[in-house]
Amino acid sequence: MKKLKFIDLFAGIGGFHLAFHNVGAECVMASEIDIHARKTYEVNFSKLSPKLFNEDMLKGDLLKIPVSDIPDFDILCAGFPCQPFSQIGYRRGFLDSHENRGNMFFEIANIIEKKKPHAFFLENVRHLLKHDNGDTFRVIKDVLEGLGYSFHYKVVKASDYGLPQHRPRVFMVGFRGEKTNNSSFMFPAKKPLIYDMSDIFQGECEKQIGFTLRVGGRGSKIHDRRNWEFYRVDGSVKRLGVKEGKMMQGFPLDFVFPVSESQSMKQLGNSVAVKAIEEVAKQIVQYLKVKNLKYEGILSMKDYESKLAYV
């Protein structure tokens, strides 16, 4: 089977890119509006995915990219803007007019409708589920199912897949040509921690699993309810830095930040937890391979589970 292709929308510093690259897929276009994040993205992926840059496929504002200019792809990935739905924001949802953030889901739907990829993988804050009494999430589900896709979702913590950070996020996955109730896709089982906060700080940390990395609120004292960056290690208070943040988010230690320390922490706080994305990405890729083998008679749930173990 030829290598699956994906596009990386609202790409940030490339958490989706790294995860899907690790499971053998190829990024054919990325879009990120923030100039500082694009700089970090280019520095880290120009060697990993040179074709993307040779063909000038790292783009800026998604709303300025004609759908006709997007290359064909198999999987759409998007950690679309969460500020309209987050607990700490205004929770304006689809009504958020700042940089058209609230309308970005409909741009995703427009791309899916016109390009008809085999699958999508979306990520957002868990509060999306309850926004506007659940109506916002129902709209998202109804729109995607109306485009001919199944719709699967799960609230996933980074710690569910090996990383010592809470970071609850809702993952949404769907496949073209399937009905939700008849789809046999399953989210992967939870995995044990790869390392804990003591390993990250290289000392005895009072917390095994760390706080969720955030964008704002830096400098809150260790006992402040808003604190997310200070930990007690070997009896002393230590502050989370870029190295520790990379490990908590699942980025390799050689991942480079060509920006200031404050920008680096902001970019990490905005990123996805790579290992969590990677485990689900692996499941998506395996599932698409199995779907491609349906002509061999792999049709039942039992057959799918059996075949999945060997793909």
- Kindly state whether residues 153 and 69 are assigned to the same domain: yes
pLDDT at residue 129, rounded to an integer: 93
pLDDT digits (tens, 9 = 90+) for 276-286: 999 999 999 99
- Kindly state whether residues 84 and 179 are assigned to the same domain: yes
Here the tokens at position 224 are 């402040």
Q: Give the dihedral sign, CA 149/150/155/158.
A: negative
205 is catalytic: no
- Kindly state whether residues 245 and 179 are assigned to the same domain: no
What are the b/e assignments for 90-124, b being 16+ CB within 10 Å?
Answer: ebbbbebeeeebbbbbebbbebbeebebbbbbbbb
Q: Are the beta carbons of 152 and 183 closer than 8 angstroms?
A: yes
Percent of the chain with pLDDT over 90: 78
* Residue among 27, 77, 82, 205 flagged as catalytic: 82
Identify the domain containing residue 18 by its residue range: 5-188+270-308
- Kindly state whether residues 103 and 183 are assigned to the same domain: yes
pTM above 0.85, yes or no: yes
Whether 294 shows a pLDDT value over 80: the answer reads no
- Kindly state whether residues 68 and 171 are assigned to the same domain: yes
- Measure Cα distances from 22 to 122, 160, 192, 279, 298 in Å: 18, 19, 19, 10, 26
pLDDT digits (tens, 9 = 90+) for 134-148: 888 999 999 999 999
- Higher-scoring residue by pLDDT: 3, 291: 3
CA distance 122 to 103: 15
Domain count across the chain: 2
Here the tokens at position 173 are 């996955």
- Kindly state whether residues 276 and 223 are assigned to the same domain: no
